[in-house]
Amino acid sequence: MCMPLHSESGNVTPAQLRIAKDMADLEIPSNVELRKTDDYNLSFIISPDSGHWKGGQFEFKFQFPSKYPFQGPKVTCMDPIYHPNIDLEGAPCVNVLRPWKPTYSTQIVLFGLLFLFTHPNASDPLNQEAAKEMRENPAQFAKNVVNALKGLRVGGTQFPKNKGKVSEAHATAALLRKIRACTVSHGLC
């Protein structure tokens, strides 16, 4: 994807060149949309197609510093989410962001974000409440995810309704799958 470069002085900065290279090399899956606002800011809209957050839609804003790639982008989930690896302020726990290395790219960060939706990690949480629920009561965790997507209160947090297409049928089916999986894995059948 080629993006025109702009600069107030008319000169293209090294950061702009690297961001343009990252954009040209991007392989964007079908469940992700790219929105670029300027040379230093973009968003990925991720619509998970499997897992707990299937049907949801989450915007991750990337803010690139002027010293990119020597300093990593600031990444924020703009949509409140009940997730063990994303805090309530939208900061994701993606290993490649800290410590950042100049050899990393926007593609690697995107892969890390997608991985959070398919493999949430309750052992390395930013949202302690969600992680504890995921470890100790997977069925309740699944229900909390659905309730958060539907715009309900979970714990002490009132979530806004997610912009995605979370259906009651999906929510019920996901909850039943999680209950069955938990029951089988604990030998309760």
CA angle 137, 112, 184 (to 5 degrees): 30
* Confidence (pTM): 0.84
Please give the pLDDT value at position 167: 61
pLDDT tens for 167-186 read: 654 555 555 666 666 666 66
**Domain region containing 147:** 14-185
- Does a structural domain hold residue 1? no
Do the domain assignments include residue 82?
A: yes
Token pair recorded at residue 187: 């030998």
Task: Give the position of tokens 């909390």.
Answer: 144
**pLDDT at residue number 86:** 98
- pLDDT of 165: 85
Give how many domains the chain has, as a whole number. 1
Q: Which residues are catalytic?
A: 93
pLDDT of 164 higher than 70: yes
DSSP letter, residue 159: P
